[in-house]
Amino acid sequence: MEFFNTAKAVKLRSHLDKYLVADDNQESVRQSRNGASRKARWTVELVDNKSHVVRLKSCHGLYLAAADHPFLLGMTGRKVLQAEADKSMDFKFEWEPIRDGFQLKLRTWCGKYLRANGGPPPWRNAVTHDDPTTSTTQNWILWDVIEAEVPASESLTDFLLSQQSSFSSFSDELNGSEYGSPVSVFSTKSPTLLSPKPSSNKLAKQTNSNKFRIGMNLFQNAKAVRLRSHHDKYLLAEEDEESVTQDRNGSSKKARWTVEFVPESDTIIRLKSCFAKYLTASNQPYLLGMTGRKVLQTLPRRLDSSVEWEPIREGTQVRLRTRYGNFLRANGGLPPWRNSVTHDIPHRTATQDWVLWDVDIVEIHIQSPVHKPSAPQPLPHSDSLEFDSSSPSAVSIKSDHFSRQESSDSYAESPPKSEGRTIYYHIAEDNGDVDDEAAQGYSMTFKGNGVEELTRKLEEETGIEGLIVCARSPLNRQLFPLRLQLPPNNVTMQVVLVMSSSKVGQSLAKQGLL
């Protein structure tokens, strides 16, 4: 509930990376990838004498309502609509936010949850309220909550309307301008909302918890570190002095990042590359249409929040969070994702580990045994960042104490862990077409080699029964079913899922391909 206490308006993003939008027919709601549209913004209203629920108003002045009639006859999901306020039925407009890890669930008056549906039409992009029926649909009721800007032209209107009853039956005409990008993301660990440009003192108070302090312990005495991703690759500053990638060569000076502590804050650090540029969470999308944003090396004239990272301990590893709620993420899969580094929020179980990093300390601050050292000062320039024989021996963090690390010979490339292959998949339409097949699609990790076992896993993952796992012919782009065994060596695969009851599924059966 704390997410909504200070937010005037929010955007809700589903596990499909789509936003909850209010249709122009002023009745239905659906999911859309256009999060910049005004239709994706929902004004937050707190309910008098009910501190645990909120109401959400669309850009049409109508409220998000949990109806009691089914979305499809014979199915469990019920409709979610836009509707005018009705005093006698006000409970249908009330939503109870329940935190679940990084995200929220929104519970209705009847104990159901706001649910973003996937799969083939008519479920695709549909929004209902329901209980998750299988373990694979648990994520369908989880939402990322992003604070949205309120245009200045609407602020006065909102103020005047707030002087009236907070839940009257008026209809207001809202400005039709597009909204900008989200200005902040709700913190997943701190119960308070991170403002766009918080002061250091305010942020320190907001995040003053044991978990944050433990995360800082990994960097407490560090002068320089290496960051190793879950792919056993190191965060590297490329020689173009702009881009950042992953590489297995941890002995390179490009894998070394100097640690700077932000004055007046005991929870924030900056990381400077061997080119004397800062690790920066930019606002540029890595790929158009995808959620991840670029991580760069920059040297801004003024050190702002884009170069500040908040360490959060996770077991023996750490997550590095931006001041706006995203995490430094090491991507895997096919090019251009392979070896890339972005900042994002993981939406799937298979990508939760992509934001975890091992911290190897390669240089420490020499501390006096008598006097307690003050906070370390920022290092000067790149001349001091070179490796030399006079620097202290490298040490590695694996627990709360330092341990002596092996010589640079141990940095040699080691074979990747064999934890199964990554399967990227799209769900085909009735005629076999795929929406935006050029995109990477959904992903899952699969450890087996049999097509039958893969089919069962994908049915569990999607919640759809009767799937045919297909691939596209490189010659004529026609779909053909996979048979028997998958390719060896755990190579990454791209597949298309076809429902056996669809037209293309029946066509494959008639051709004797099944």
C-alpha 388/C-alpha 404 separation (Å) is 18
Mean pLDDT of 172-196: 34
Please determine, looking at this structure, whether the domain spanning 200-411 carries the CATH number 1.10.10.10. Answer: no
3-state SS assignment for residue 206: helix
Q: Residue 31: what pLDDT?
A: 93
Range ranked top by mean pLDDT from 79-88, 155-164, 183-192: 79-88
Region of 407 (left: φ > 0; alpha: ψ -120 to 50; beta: rest) is beta
Q: Tens of pLDDT along 384-428?
A: 333 333 333 343 433 333 333 333 333 344 444 446 788 888 888
Nearest to 494 by CA among 289, 334, 331: 334
Q: Residue 177: what pLDDT?
A: 34
How much of the chain, in percent, has pLDDT values that exceed 70? Answer: 72
> 497 has which bridge partners?
427, 469
Write out the residue limits of the CATH 3.10.20 domain(s) in the chain: 421-510
pLDDT band per the 50, 70, 90 thresholds, residue 165: very low
Residue predicted with more confidence, 26 or 412: 26
Nearest to 499 by CA among 463, 449, 475: 463
Mean pLDDT of 57-79: 87
Please determine, looking at this structure, whether the domain spanning 421-510 carries the CATH number 1.10.1060. Answer: no
Please determine, looking at this structure, whether the domain spanning 2-185 carries the CATH number 2.80.10.50. Answer: yes
C-alpha 258/C-alpha 253 separation (Å) is 11
3-state SS assignment for residue 505: helix
Residue predicted with more confidence, 70 or 351: 70
Q: Residue 280: what pLDDT?
A: 94
Mean pLDDT of 299-314: 87
**What is the average pLDDT score of the chain?**
75
Q: Residue 410: what pLDDT?
A: 37
Q: What's the pTM value of the predicted model, to 2 decimals?
A: 0.38
Largest Cα–Cα distance of the chain, in whole Å?
A: 84
Mean pLDDT of 372-382: 43
Q: Residue 437: what pLDDT?
A: 64
How much of the chain, in percent, has pLDDT values that exceed 90? Answer: 24
Q: Residue 456: what pLDDT?
A: 87
Q: Tens of pLDDT along 451-474?
A: 888 888 888 777 777 889 998 887
Q: Residue 407: what pLDDT?
A: 35
pLDDT band per the 50, 70, 90 thresholds, residue 196: very low
Q: Residue 2: what pLDDT?
A: 64
Mean pLDDT of 94-100: 88
pLDDT band per the 50, 70, 90 thresholds, residue 12: very high
Write out the residue limits of the CATH 2.80.10.50 domain(s) in the chain: 2-185, 200-411
User: Among the listed ranges 207-216, 281-290, 311-320, 331-340, which one has the minimum average pLDDT value?
Assistant: 207-216
Q: At residue 268, what are phi and psi to the nearest 5 degrees?
A: -125, 140
3-state SS assignment for residue 305: helix
pLDDT band per the 50, 70, 90 thresholds, residue 225: very high
| pLDDT of 290 strictly over 70 | yes
Mean pLDDT of 313-317: 81
Mean pLDDT of 281-293: 83
| pLDDT of 504 strictly over 50 | yes
Mean pLDDT of 14-35: 90
Q: Residue 301: what pLDDT?
A: 84
The DSSP output letter for 411 is: G
3-state SS assignment for residue 375: coil
| pLDDT of 368 strictly over 50 | no
Q: Tens of pLDDT along 129-139?
A: 988 766 667 78
| pLDDT of 84 strictly over 70 | yes
Cα 101 to its chain centre, rounded Å, is 12
Mean pLDDT of 137-153: 78
User: Among the listed ranges 150-159, 224-233, 264-273, which one has the minimum average pLDDT value?
Assistant: 150-159
Q: Residue 135: what pLDDT?
A: 66
Nearest to 279 by CA among 261, 262, 264, 258: 258
Q: Residue 171: what pLDDT?
A: 34
User: Among the listed ranges 90-104, 218-232, 426-440, 481-495, which one has the minimum average pLDDT value?
Assistant: 426-440
Please give, one letter per residue, the 3-state secondary structure of 412-442: CCCCCCCCCEEEEEEECCCCCCCCCCCCCCE
Q: Residue 513: what pLDDT?
A: 79
